[in-house]
Chain A
Amino acid sequence: MTGPLPLAAAQPVIPDFGRGSTCVRDNGAFCWDWVSDHWGDTLRPALMQHLQLTAIAIVLGFAIAFVLALAAHRRGRLTTPVVLVTGLLYTIPSLALFQLLVPFTGLSRTTAEVALVSYTLLILFRNTLAGLAGVPEEVRDAARGMGLTQRQLLWSVELPLALPAIVAGLRIATVTVISLATVAVFVVNEGLGAPIYAGLQQTFKTELIAAGALCVALALIADGLLVLLQRVLTPWTRVARSR
């Protein structure tokens, strides 16, 4: 079905004929028993590393973007430079960015995280800022009229109203990072990119397909969880919609 892979020549990986099932021995298109045999030693650890890579990137990226957005919300002229810089980072292809960081941080997890964080910044910054900017002026006036200080206004009025936009940004950023973290395999052999890349270099494709499918499933589940989070955090939007 597949031609000889150029990369396979360098490093032929032969399926484990010794213990393999019929499916594995016949090089079947997809072998469920390979998945269950190697769930514990290959797929689950890769999935866990992938989750970790993603979680760290999102938490750090959100912390940075949130602070930047609050600052830009207060001082409008910060917006353009931040959008320019984060937009520049966002445009650099991931494979290139990972490699360009190697002279600074080496072939390490740090390199992967720096690149992944840099991809979250534009989305999270723009959405947080737009959410804050979208709060109606009358609402702010009413809050000030009730005697709220600037800080109270931000935390108890503006941020809650900006939540849907912020969570929308988190959804995009999370799904993006889950997808991009597979490319991190070129600098650090962790995450679901590792079994995908290993699968790419052998003719037995189950490993590749299983890891790819896991990655898509992870992205969809994370997206769904964030939608739920938003529902829980903003009950008032649901009331408004059900009327």
Chain B
Amino acid sequence: MNDFTDAFRFIADNTALLWTLTLDHLALSGAAVGIALALALPLGVTLGHVHRGSFVSINVSNVGRALPSLALISIGVAVLGIGFVNVMVALVVLAFPIMLTNAYVAVESVDQDAVEAARGMGMKPHEVLWKVELPLALPLIFAGIRTAVVYVIATATLAAVAGAHSLGDIIVDQATYRLPGVLGAAICVAVLALLAELLFAGLQRAVTPRALRSEERGAPTVLLGEPNPERTART
């Protein structure tokens, strides 16, 4: 347990360094998540709205899950070279499939009766999308964002091996920081991931219409191999 006492002492003694690296970590993750969002959401929502492209939208995340993040970052380094942008590209590649699949499944699986009813009320297709499908799809879309965010924050730790700065810098450099430093940084990364998870779980809850909030406690949902709702990616 001495190791952990030393780890907390390291955190206390190096707050400036840890803070800088945390900001780097968040900048890297934030940029990757932002780009992945901008690419995946419009595409997934559109495909779900027109009920097209299920094979690609769903299988892309199955293949995405098989990509080892360390290998992906490493191959990114081999092909693109090291640095912030290249690591970010690798992170976008990891986050994109999760968001795409969830956005697609979310909109695609909206209760068709609700859609019919909206059409019957004379709504135009874009009104159906904005007023009916999107509000009902938001919880699952947010589940995808939450999974992707936690996944990206976790993977950004590995960015250290590819020349971008993150809290991983300390973890992979035991020669410099010794075990207490490595443990201290590992604790920071774990806390960061848990905070992100909590924040986005809260957001997900906030965007869930009250009528849909039943299944929160207890009754778990199946994580199926194919339609891939919720948390099925991991680093």
Which residues of A are interface residues toward B (Cβ below 8 A)? 1-3, 5-7, 76, 79-80, 83, 88, 90-97, 99-100, 102-103, 119, 122-123, 126-127, 129-131, 133-134, 165, 167-169, 171-172, 175-176, 178-180, 182-183, 185-186, 192-193, 196-197, 199-200, 205, 208-209, 211-212, 215-216, 219-220, 223, 227
Q: Is the CB of A223 within 8 A of B66?
A: yes
A to B CB contacts below 8 Å, 15 in the list: A90-B231, A96-B171, A96-B193, A102-B183, A103-B4, A103-B179, A126-B223, A133-B219, A168-B222, A178-B68, A183-B158, A196-B70, A199-B78, A200-B74, A219-B65
Q: Is the CB of A100 within 8 A of B66?
A: no
Q: Which residues of A lie under 8 Å from residue B137 when comparing CB positions?
A: none
Contact with A along B219-235 (1 / 0, CB 8 A): 11111110000011111
Q: Is the CB of B183 within 8 A of A103?
A: yes
Q: How far apart are the CA atoms of A93 and B179 in the complex, in Å?
A: 18
Q: Give the bracket for the number of chain B residues in contact with chain A.
A: 35 or more
Q: Is the CB of B70 within 8 A of A130?
A: no
Q: Is the CB of A215 within 8 A of B71?
A: yes
Q: Which residues of B lie under 8 Å from residue A205 when comparing CB positions?
A: 78
Q: Is the CB of B232 within 8 A of A123?
A: yes
CB contacts under 8 Å to A, within B9-25, are none
Nearest 10 pairs between A and B by C-beta?
A212-B71, A93-B154, A219-B66, A96-B186, A205-B78, A103-B3, A179-B68, A96-B189, A130-B222, A99-B186
Q: How far apart are the CA atoms of A171 and B179 in the complex, in Å?
A: 35
Knowing A5-B163, A165-B224, the reply to whether A172 touches B65 (Cβ < 8 A) is: yes
Q: Which residues of A lie under 8 Å from residue B77 when comparing CB positions?
A: 2, 5, 200
Q: Is the CB of B235 within 8 A of A131?
A: no
Q: Is the CB of B189 within 8 A of A93?
A: yes
**Closest B residue, CB atoms, query A124:** B223
Knowing A196-B74, A216-B66, the reply to whether A168 touches B190 (Cβ < 8 A) is: no
Knowing A5-B82, A103-B4, A127-B223, the reply to whether A208 touches B179 (Cβ < 8 A) is: no
